[in-house]
Amino acid sequence: MRMVRSDAIPNNTARFRRSIAWRVAESLFATVPYVVLFAALNAMFSGYFDMSLMIRLTLMLAASLMLQLLCSVAANVDGFVGGTGMMCDLRLQIASHLRRLPLGFYARRQTGELTAVMTENLLHVEEAFTHLAGELCGRLTIAGLTGALLLYIDWQLGLLSMASVAVGLVLFRLVKESVNKISRAKITQKAATNSRLLEFIQGIKVIRAFGRSARGYDKVLSALQNLRALSIRVEIIAGIAAIGFSILLEIGFLLVLARAFQLNINGNLGHATLVMFLVMSHRFYAMMNESALLMAQLAFYEKSFERIAALLNEKCLPEPALALVPDRHDIEFCNVNYSAEAGTQTLSNISFSARPGTVTALVGPSGAGKTTIVHLLARFHDVAGGKILIGGVDIRSMHQDDLLDRIAIVLQESYLFNDTIESNLRIARPHATYAELQAATRAACCHDFIMALPQAYMTVIGEGGGSLSGGERQRLSIARAILKDAPIVLLDEATASIDAGNEHAIRQAMAALVRGKTVLMIAHRLHTVADADQILVLDRGAVVGQGRHADLIQQDGLYVRLWEQQENSRHWRFRQAA
């Protein structure tokens, strides 16, 4: 296969600019017929129109039409290819940017808002680049050329023609700010409506189970009604502005028409000039009217540009100029502080170390900071104070990809994609052999239920793995972590969704997963971590106990109280009231 040099592929931005140049050239040739018409009218009214002149004018007209057609085709091709190429680059840039944003960003943003940016707002920008920008440049070029011809034919009538356009542009400017304000509110409301719809769809099982369908529907209905009201306001104000601008242009055309006829009757304007002026002024007003409509549409799309720019301006986690690579995988937290929000302290002076081949368990009540510690180690956030070391290297001195290559994570709710089981597993290691893939699924007790599916490993499991049970999804997540074979393993209550029948087998799989690795394990059921090499007891973001189970159980602290509560709860029984 012959390779193509990268410098031989046209740059998308350069191609887009070239399409604008082609569109301007097309507009230049589009004015040639009016020059031909003016010459023909002058010859006819002067009485020296002959066959030779007609042939020359016909050839000039044919040549201009042919060149106009060629420029139009070139502009469309370059505009579409360049514009869509730029949008493809922009989508990839946004995707890469989202991948590097801290996890706290997603906690602040609603899913519907990000969905709106990635779909509707990007489509607006794409249409602006592939269609509107070129069309606007072409119409403004024609309007500019016809305006110059009007001034050349009769400067007084030319100035009169432009006066109404100037008044119309002032009106357009005044109305634009009102339209922009409502458009901004509409786009914000649209994002909120998307969030309400996603929430309603994703939570429909819970809503119906608790008999709250009407309330859930009312929230969606209210969001849609607000969006409808804003949409109507935008259309009314934009419509009034468009109609007002058109009326001003029509009034200007009538005034020019009256003045031109007056000058013709007084003998100050020839018949040929009169006809030509009427044709050119009509063309001028038509181009200005179309340009105003395109500018109004671009003004509305401007909000989409702003939302995309705001997303790209979100601060990413900084990457080091010269990245360091650790040669071992022990973990050390040194006086780590972290605040999820301004004025709050989520973690305070967390210090501990974890050696390879050991399991460190994180226990404590909800909100104690267990998951935050795991997220900080994976650098989903940056610490506010202190530092986290892997093999003696500050994780902020490592490239994020290098860091995450060394970590396998099994979350309590791991996400599975709407793809085949094999593709979901290969996310961990794309080039794994089929034997390695099967070994991972057998270790995680997945292979049997996978083979029972209609297409086995090629079965598409639906969005979020919706066609599987919670236990099956969790076992696939464990298989994915086993397949990755990373030196550091982070487990967030990884066996929470496993049924009792498979718990023993999964624990064996987990033992295979963590063997020889540096392991941090979040656990709510304390008996699952009784054999851990060290246990950190957390409460309100601080370490209040540290040691092995046998040591902690002898102390009078939070760990003992949690252990006693869970031991007592194991003997609870439901009993109907008499």
pLDDT per residue over 184-212, tens digit each? 677 666 666 766 666 666 555 555 554 55
CB 178 within 8 A of CB 237: yes
Confidence (pLDDT) at 178? 65
Rounded Cα–Cα distance for residues 88 and 85 (Å): 5
With beta carbons less than 8 A apart as the criterion, state whether 272 and 41 touch: yes
Predicted pLDDT at 507: 67
pLDDT of 442-478, one tens digit each?
Answer: 877 788 888 888 888 888 876 666 667 767 777 788 8
Q: What's residue 5's pLDDT?
A: 35
3-class secondary structure, 263: helix
Which pLDDT does position 8 carry in this prediction? Answer: 36
DSSP lists the bridge partners of residue 536 as 362, 546
- Residues 1 and 270: their CA atoms lie apart, in Å, by 69
- How is 319-347 classified by DSSP, letter by letter? --SS----SS--EEEEEEEE-SSTT--SE
Asked if pLDDT for residue 277 goes beyond 70, the answer is yes
Higher pLDDT, 221 or 26: 26
Q: What percent of the chain has pLDDT over 90?
A: 0
Q: What is the pLDDT of residue 4?
A: 34
Distance CA 76, CA 443 (A): 56
Residue with tokens 């399991």: 359
Confidence of residue 72 (pLDDT cuts 50, 70, 90): confident
Judge whether residue 372 has pLDDT over 60.
yes
- What CATH architecture applies to the domain 331-569? 3-Layer(aba) Sandwich (3.40)
For residue 208, the model assigns a pLDDT of: 54
63 pLDDT above the threshold of 80: yes
Q: Which of 184-193, 269-278, 501-510 has the lowest mean pLDDT?
A: 501-510
Q: Rounded CA gap, 175 and 570, in Å?
A: 69
Cβ neighbors of 506 (< 8 A, separation 6 or more) are: 444, 445, 475, 478, 495, 498
Q: How far is Cα 117 from Cα 290, in angstroms, rounded to an integer?
A: 28
State the pLDDT at residue 49: 65
152 pLDDT band, cuts 50/70/90, is confident
Residue ranges matching CATH 3.40.50.300 in the chain: 331-569
Given the candidates 1.20.1180.10, 1.20.58.760, 1.20.1560.10, 2.40.160.40, the CATH classification of the domain at 11-312 is 1.20.1560.10
First to last CA, the chain: 82
What pLDDT, on the 0 to 100 scale, is given for residue 172?
67
CA atoms within 13 A on the CB side of 281: 33
Residues of the chain with CATH 1.20.1560.10: 11-312
The pLDDT assigned to 460 comes to 81
pLDDT value of residue 25: 84
Give the pLDDT of residue 1: 30
State yes or no: pLDDT of 222 exceeds 80: no
**Confidence at 217, pLDDT banded by 50, 70, 90:** low
Q: Give residue 262's identity as a one-letter amino acid code.
A: Q
Residues 312, 118: contact at Cβ < 8 Å? no
Q: Which two tokens stand for residue 75?
A: 């502009």
Answer yes or no: are the C-beta atoms of 298 and 108 closer than 8 Å: no
Q: Assign 210 to helix, strand or coil.
A: coil
Amino acid letter for position 6: S
Q: At CB < 8 A and 24+ separation, what contacts does 525-533 make? A: 525/566, 526/363, 526/559, 526/562, 526/563, 526/566, 527/566, 528/495, 529/359, 529/361, 529/363, 531/359, 532/359, 532/360, 532/361, 533/358, 533/359, 533/360
